[in-house]
Amino acid sequence: MEKRNIGSLSVSPIGLGCMSMSHGYGPSDEKTSIQLLNEALDVGYDFLDTATMYGGGRNEELLAKALKTRRQEYVLASKCALFSQDGKPTIDGRAETIKAQCEASLQRLKTDVIDLYYLHRLDPKVPIEESVGALANLVREGKIREIGLSEVSADTLRRAHDIHPIAAVQSEYSLWTRLPEIKMLDVCESLGTTFVPFSPLGRQFLTGKAQEASCLTEGDIRTSNARPRFETEAFAQNSKLLEPLREVAQEFNCSLAQLALAWIIALPNRAGKQTLIPIPGTKHIAYMRENIAAMNVNLPLDVAEYVSSLIDDDKVIGARYNDRQMKVMDSERDRN
């Protein structure tokens, strides 16, 4: 399958989200994670995504330790402005914070440059122009190659792009989370910005392997800020939506996870080009291999459109985040 572009960068149609190896989904094993990262490069992943927030920097350190001799084999993405302070998530998009966090990430990652550096969340107290101006300075200094934004609205993207070209926007997008379809996908296309879906497997729900919140371990975000769709009653109702998807997956001889990823990479923009680059995350080697194999699933456009009709936000019970989390999101919140 052809490579897909992120600004000046070129990557495979499916990347690897590294968060769960250090953060968000309960305990993980460093030895297994190191093996997973190396095997990921071996089987075709060449786009790895981490962040300052993930494990308080430990995820960046993990990548450096695991792949210290293989830095030239992958495109590296990391993020700034969102971090944990006194055990609580904190957003700081000031120029001095962005610069300091970039320097710290470079040291943890043991690299001279970060290929794609995202503003992880918009700081409501800091104009986007100021934050992007700081990122643009890092480009000029050679510390980062391309600028990205995460979980922002289409209007914020436009304002940011006026300051410096934005290579990528990363936001949640999957069969059961379709918010970017309101405006973001069209605006990205018009600006030449690549859209990078995170949680393309619905935090495991779309794989058919997930459990309801009460069965999950402590430290799993699905028991806290991402809980609404995993509450017992909501989870039971939502699970019924998977049944017709199973029939399609069986027809194409693939797993539910592979179908969900194949759907994303098959979606064309208005010009008919396939440009989306999902970054499914996992801490399991078997799932990592299963996910990359979705590139071998040839999903015709009419089938992708049929799959689109089977499950979407209107059919799903529960918000993707709890009320507290939703309040800090800068995104289109309705379909008006």
Model confidence pLDDT, tens digit, residues 164-190: 999 999 999 999 999 999 999 999 999
Q: What's the confidence (pLDDT) of residue 215? A: 86
CB 225 within 8 A of CB 316: no
* Res 60 pLDDT > 90: yes
Q: pLDDT tens for residues 258-270?
A: 999 999 999 999 9
* Res 334 pLDDT > 60: no
Please state the domain count of the chain.
Answer: 1
Q: What's the confidence (pLDDT) of residue 36? A: 98
Would you state the structure tokens that stand for residue 335, as one six-digit string? 């379909």
Is residue 293 included in any domain, yes or no? yes
* Res 8 pLDDT > 60: yes
Is residue 53 included in any domain, yes or no? yes
The crossing angle, in degrees rounded to 10, of helices 184-191 and 154-163 is: 20
Which has the higher per-residue pLDDT, 248 or 326?
248
* Res 109 pLDDT > 60: yes
Quick check: is 54 catalytic? Answer: yes
CB 1 within 8 A of CB 12: yes
Is residue 333 included in any domain, yes or no? no
DSSP annotation of 281: B
- The fraction of the chain above a pLDDT of 70, given in percent, is 99
* Res 283 pLDDT > 90: yes
Is residue 128 included in any domain, yes or no? yes
Is residue 192 included in any domain, yes or no? yes
What's the domain range around 180?
A: 4-327
Domain of 227: which CATH number? 3.20.20.100
Q: pLDDT tens for residues 29-49?
A: 999 999 999 999 999 999 999
Is residue 336 included in any domain, yes or no? no
Q: What's the confidence (pLDDT) of residue 335? A: 40
Determine the average pLDDT of the residues in 267-278.
95
Point out the catalytic residue in the list 45, 54, 173, 287: 54
Distance CA 304, CA 320 (A): 23
Is residue 279 included in any domain, yes or no? yes
Is residue 224 included in any domain, yes or no? yes
